[in-house]
Amino acid sequence: MPKPAKPREREVQAAQEPVRFGPLANYIGFHLRRAQTASFQAVAHRIGQADFTPGLYALLTLIEQNPGITQTALSRADGRDKSSLTPALSGLQKRGLIRRERIAGDKRSYALHLTPAGSAAAAALHRHAQAHDDELDRIIGLEHKAQFIRQLRRIVSALSADTGEDGPDGEAQP
């Protein structure tokens, strides 16, 4: 009579079992999420900091490229709602990577700027992001990259128009 499997052995066996995806197998959204997760994990591994996500990199880059950007404009550009943007910005501020300055005449708005440490972090992260993007170029193929990005922007634009949110380039959709 075979011995019962130990807990770790059962876990390994379960991980090797085939999974039925049902309708998920043909859902674009499901595959977009899986691709995003795989991409984010690869970037975190490349950077070596699991707590520094591509989303935080995007925020640093948008602030770097738009010194003095307001949180509202940053929210639109990054496609985040304020409930997820505010804690992310607070985390960047606690790390000393950004500073918030009150906008004269508007007590509710802040202008965002990188600190010198934020500029240095962004420069280092740009190298990692470029290396990761080079890997994605290899996977997708340079000849397909522009079309792939157009399709992704089309998804964002169409779905943003449905919700009344801003499009991929920060422009309000009709």
Q: Domains of the chain: which residue ranges?
A: 41-159
| Alpha-carbon span 82 to 14, nearest angstrom | 39
58, 78 Cβ separation under 8 angstroms: yes
Confidence (pLDDT) at 71: 93
pLDDT by residue (tens digit) across 9-66? 766 666 778 999 999 999 999 999 999 999 988 988 888 876 678 889 999 999 999 9
Tens-digit pLDDT profile for residues 82-103? 889 999 999 999 999 999 999 8
- pLDDT, position 164: 56
Per the CB < 8 A criterion, the answer to whether 140 and 151 are in contact is no
What's the confidence (pLDDT) of residue 173? 35
Contact between 98 and 68 under an 8 Å Cβ cutoff? The reply is no
DSSP 20-80: --GGGGG-HHHHHHHHHHHHHHHHHHHHT-TTS-HHHHHHHHHHHHSTTEEHHHHHHHHT-
pTM above 0.85, yes or no: no
Is the Cα dihedral 96, 98, 104, 109 positive or negative?
negative
Residue matched to tokens 């500073």 = 99
Q: What percent of the chain has pLDDT over 90?
A: 63
User: What does the radius of gyration of the chain's CA atoms come to, in whole angstroms?
Assistant: 20
Q: Which two tokens stand for residue 118?
A: 């934020």
Give me the pLDDT at residue 172, please. 38
Q: What is the pLDDT of residue 7?
A: 67
pLDDT confidence of residue 38: 93
According to CATH, what is the number of the domain 41-159?
A: 1.10.10.10
